[in-house]
Amino acid sequence: MNLILTIFLFVLLNEFVAWIGKSVLQRFAWGLYQRVFYSGVATNQRKLKIEVLEKKKELLQTSAQDQFSKWAKLRRAVDKGLADLEKLNKQSNTARASFEGNFGMLLWFVTTGVQLVIGWWYRSAAVFYLPPTWLGPLTWWLAFPFAPAGSVSCGVWQMACRRVIRVGERTVRNFLSNDAATSANTAPTAEASTKTGPSGRPMSVKRDS
């Protein structure tokens, strides 16, 4: 794959992850992972919660004085259900913490780590060359630190891609916010311009000729 496109795609992926949010991606990925590998544990948790709630409800409706044996049996069942549920919750929390740690490392490698590796591996390579008359004596800065003179280095191309993507993101956000504000302002005006009579039908205003 072309080095220009490769760097741009990884920078775009990094900015996309930052825009969505790592916590949101972690929750989404954990939900998928849980459905595939921990579906049985999640099902047992839901069933156990329902059973504990039902036993608690029945326990509250049972008198400890009049029906002591039944009350004691329900109490033991509720305590055992809560203990089992706590054990399942601990297992689920441990698995989730481990998954989120590994997923966070994977995100870092895919977004930041790969860019560092590409920048180091191609530190002396030219992404592309510019005509020597475009920027004059400033052309050397685009080749910083080790790219050939007159070319654009990987580091500079990464910074340029990141800058352009962020500017485009702000532009889209401003456009969407302005569009939403315009729609919100026109809605009350349209409602106020429509007058209704006692029957709820729009009134027609007669003008004197």
Token output for 124: 């002396």
Q: How far apart are CA 13 and CA 207, in angstroms?
A: 62
What is the residue-wise DSSP string for 5-50? HHHHHHHHHHHHHHHH-HHHHHHHHHHHHHHHHSHHHHHHHHHHHH
DSSP H helical segments within the chain, as ranges? 3-20, 22-37, 39-60, 68-108, 114-121, 139-142, 154-193
Segment among 67-81, 150-164, 176-190 with least mean pLDDT? 176-190
**What whole-number distance in Å separates Cα of residue 103 and Cα of residue 84?**
28
**CA dist., res. 40 & res. 52, Å (int):** 18
pLDDT over threshold 60, residue 104? yes
**Domain spans of the chain, in order of start:** 1-13+20-121, 124-182
The predicted structure's pLDDT at residue 147: 85
Q: How confident is the model at residue 163 (pLDDT cuts 50, 70, 90)?
A: very high
Cα dihedral: 74, 80, 85, 87 (round 10): 170
pLDDT computed for residue 188 by the predictor: 56
User: What is the spatial distance between Cα 105 and Cα 26, in angstroms, rounded to a whole number?
Assistant: 11
Residue 18, token pair as written in the block: 């930052």
Rounded Cα distance, 131 and 4, in Å: 17
- Average pLDDT across the chain, whole number: 82
d(CA 75, CA 68): 10
| Side chain identity, residue 40 | G
- pTM across the whole model: 0.65
Residue 193: is its pLDDT beyond 70?
Answer: no
DSSP designation for 151 = E
